[in-house]
Every structure is written in C-alpha cells, then in structure tokens.
Amino acid sequence: MNQTAQQVEKVIQQRYKAGFYTDIESDRMRAGLDEEVIAMISAKKDEPEWLLEWRLKAFHHWQTMVGPNWAHLNLPPIDFQKIHYYSAPKQKDRPKSLDEVDPKLLETFDKLGVPLHERARLAGVAVDAVFDSVSVGTTFQKELKEAGVIFCSFSEAVQDHPDLVREYLGSVVPYTDNYFAALNSAVFSDGSFVYIPRDTRCPMELSTYFRINARDTGQFERTLIVAEPGSHVSYLEGCTAPMRDENQLHAAVVELVALKKAQIKYSTVQNWYPGDENGKGGIYNFVTKRGDCREDDSRISWTQVETGSAITWKYPSCVLRGDRSAGEFYSVALTHNHQQADTGTKMIHLGKNTTSKVISKGISAGKSNNSYRGLVRMARRADNARNYTQCDSLLIGKTCGAHTFPYIESSNASAKIEHEATTSRIGEDQLFYCRARGLDEEDAVAMIVDGFCKEVFKELPMEFAVEAKALLEISLEGAVG
C-alpha cells in the first residue's frame, strides 16, 4: 500500500508537464533591488520620463511598507536583494513579426500547447506570449487591428499608445495599494495591454500566456484592459514554470476598466509549478487583480482555476462604482501536497442597484491548506445592492485543511447579502459507487471533483474548460489511496 502510494506520488511529480527548462541565452540584469535597477529596466524599455518617475515613487513607497502577514499562509521570508528583476531572451532587435522570433522560443510555446506560428495557432484565440520579463510576440495582430482592438505587450503599448497607458495605469490598483502591488509598480517588466473601442465586440478571445523560465528570477507583469462604453471582451491568461528546488516569485498586477455598459470577462488557468511532494520549490504567486466597473451598467466577471504555485495569495476584486453594475467571481482553487492557497475576492458596492455573485470551490488534498477569504462591502449610497456568495470546500483525505473567512461590511440598510458555505469530504460511498460501476479510483475522484466544480467550469470559454478539467485531473492524481 505504502509502496503504491509512493509510486503514485512519483507519477504525479512527472505529471507537471510544463516543468521543462528552455536553454536560451538571456540578457539578465544583476540581482538586487535599488533605484539603479529600476532605472535600468526603464531604460531597457526606452520609457518616457513620467513612467520612470512613477516607478520610483512606487519603489519609495514600497520601502516604507511591510509584507502582509494576515493571510492564512506560512510564508518564509523573501530576500528581495537575491532576485533578478529582469531577464529576457537575447535578441538583436525587437522582432518585427513572429517570423523573426527565436525558434527556440516558438518551440517552447509549442511544447506548452500554445503554438504561435501562423499554421498551428489556436483558432479564434489571439495570444500574447510572455517569456520571463518580455513579450515574445502576439498573434492575430492584423485581424484585431481591423476591428480597432489594441492587443499588444505592455512595452509596446507604452511606445505606441502612451496616452492611454498614462491615463489608466494605476487608476484601479494604485502603487500604494499593497506591498506586492507597490513592488510590481516599481519593477514590472512586461505584460499585456488591451483596448476595446466603443461599441465593439472583440472578434476573438484574447489570451496571454506567462512563462517563467530563468532561474532566480521574479516575474512582475502588468495587465491593463480598458473597455470603452458598450464594448465586450473575453480574456484568458495561462501560466507555467520549470520545476526547480528553489522558490520563485511572481507578483503581477491586473487592472480592468469597464466603462458604460461595457463587459469584461477575465479567466485564468493558473498552473505555476507547485513544488514537489515535500513542499520543496514552486512559485510564490502574489497577485493583485482588480476590476473597476467605473460607469453605469458595466459588468466584470472573474473566473479562475488555480491548481499551481507553492503559495497563492490573490483576490480578484470588483469595484462596483457605476449604478447597476455587476461583478462576478467564479473560482476553483485546488491544493495538493504542501501547497497553500489564500484566495477569494472583494466586492465593493458603491453604486445603486449593484449586484455581485461569488461562487468559490476549494479542493484540498494531501497536506495542503486552502482558504477562501472574501470581502463584501456595501457603501452608504449603494441602495438595493445585492450580493450572493456560495463557498464550498471539498476535502480529499484527512491531512488537509479548508478555511473560510468571510468579511461583510454593510453601511446601507437596503443592501442584501447572502452567504452560503459548505464543507464536505469526498465520500467513501461516492467513491465506492463509482468503482462498483467500473471506474478506477483516480477517475472516480476526478469525476466527483469535476462535478463539484461544474458551476465554475461552465463559465470558462469552451477550449479552456476542457484544459482546466484535464489540469485538475492531473493535479489530483495520487490524491487518494
């Protein structure tokens, strides 16, 4: 029994298919964090003066802050002077098209199932591929341009659309927001930028694939999505990293701005390397994601499937400023082995008749810890605001933990808040029922878990729902027995 358990564990470790490393010459900045490093990053990107100033202000602010200690996490101290804040594959000039991108990089993304070249790329999905600190290319640029949609790397946006970037950067997540947001604002190197013009429905799914490759390097990307009045966009991000014994830091900031009647759907399939079965290695994933329903009747929906990272700390949130604006959060967070996740959302109701819906599914296996932390705030003028929260935890085995921390603050008597929470263990009876019908134990667990997550999976774009399901199955292998 013990031996099979060990074998199964071995198989799981092999299951992290994205765990390979691409041997590519890189241009890496010295380790350490100071004004000089920040100026060097800014110079590499040929940034305007105002942006460097903004970075430095963020850095000075960060120096006055201490890291968060309130999350239900066991966080070892991070030595910020040991991290390299910039690493990019060496290339002479910035490639003008995907044809000029280093074949090794294209091959890497091929292997990850995100082919970038014309022949093989995913139909109907435009991809921006970020490798360590830089974007290596964006597909379907021409088609998007015809629709008036801007989808490019953050660095390109700074060059080509500086006014838009300047207007919206930090307008949702100011650099003062929190420790990791301040750090990101100081050192962010790339990311994606999306702009959907008025009354435009983006003609395809947009997607960014984040890949950490280099050793001792942090990835600090920023994503900014602006949806003009009456526009629609669906965006998805995916992430992976090589298997390494040491931890690596990923501290991203995502800002969404939805103007009048605009709709943004943001989906994440997070599969950063989670560390091995003893908890060695893995990504520290500290991310600030916030959507601003800035004007009336706008809608922002977050869907996330989190299976990776050693430690996850993220709370995709919605600020419901416009009247009748709506926020949604659908989450599946799975932890196994020694993974720790502290995730949830904040729904800040400012406008009248605003609505929010939160569906969180936490699955814990092995020795992992999985916490839901959610805030619902009804401001004084948020008349008739509504929130519905449903928070379910599923435990697999006896050594894992699930915790729920709901925070409710209401300053308006007409606001309604509903909260439901359940915790259950995968039933021996369910497992046996499946097995008596011929399913093996792992397929049975996968099926039960899939059923548990159904409400969230159905929110994902089709292609990714299939991927998310497969990912969950892989992540769970060996969780029982």
Partner 1 sequence: MLKINNLHVVIGDEEILKGLDLEIGPGELHAIMGPNGSGKSTLGYALAGRDGYEVTDGSMEFEGEDLAEMEPEERAAAGLFLAFQYPVEIPGVNNAYFLRSALNAQRKARGEEEVDSMNFLKTVRASLKSLKMDEALLKRAVNEGFSGGEKKRNEIVQMAVLQPKLAVLDETDSGLDIDALKLVAEGINAQRDGKRSFLVITHYQRLLDYLTPDRVHVLSDGRIVESGGEELAERLEAEGYAFLEETSEA
Residues at the site binding partner 1, with contacts judged by CB under 8 A: 427-430, 432-441, 443, 447-448, 450-455
Closest distance of CB 347 from partner 1, Å: 24
Nearer to partner 1, 215 or 357 (CB): 357
Dihedral of alpha carbons 254, 188, 204, 312, sign: negative
DSSP 24-77: --EEEPPB--SHHHHHHHHHHTT--HHHHHHHHHHHHHHHT------SS-----
What token pair was written down for 289?
Answer: 């994601």
Nearer to partner 1, 11 or 120 (CB): 11
Cβ 68 vs Cβ 313: under 8 Å: yes
Nearer to partner 1, 416 or 454 (CB): 454
Nearer to partner 1, 66 or 436 (CB): 436
Closest distance of CB 428 from partner 1, Å: 7
Nearer to partner 1, 287 or 445 (CB): 445
DSSP 223-288: EEEEE-TT-EEEEEEEEE----SSEEEE--EEEEEE-TT-EEEEEEEE------TTS-SEEEEEEE
Cβ 318 vs Cβ 327: under 8 Å: yes
Cβ 193 vs Cβ 157: under 8 Å: yes
Give me the residues paired with residue 386 across strands: 355, 416
Nearer to partner 1, 384 or 430 (CB): 430
**Whole-number Å distance between alpha carbons of 362 and 344:** 10
Closest distance of CB 451 from partner 1, Å: 3
Closest distance of CB 439 from partner 1, Å: 5
Nearer to partner 1, 139 or 331 (CB): 331
Give Cα 217 distance to the centre of its chain: 18
The span from the first CA to the last CA of the chain, in angstroms, equals 8
What token pair was written down for 412?
Answer: 């308006």
**Whole-number Å distance between alpha carbons of 358 and 361:** 10
Nearer to partner 1, 27 or 450 (CB): 450
Closest distance of CB 236 from partner 1, Å: 23
DSSP alpha helix (H) spans, 138-247: 141-146, 154-160, 162-168, 179-187
**Whole-number Å distance between alpha carbons of 89 and 135:** 10
Closest distance of CB 426 from partner 1, Å: 10
Closest distance of CB 467 from partner 1, Å: 18
Closest distance of CB 452 from partner 1, Å: 6
Nearer to partner 1, 413 or 436 (CB): 436
Nearer to partner 1, 119 or 398 (CB): 398
Cα radius of gyration rounded to whole Å, the chain: 22
Closest distance of CB 361 from partner 1, Å: 10
Closest distance of CB 305 from partner 1, Å: 15
Residue 340, SS3 per DSSP: strand
Among 260, 203, 209, smallest CA distance to 234 is for: 203
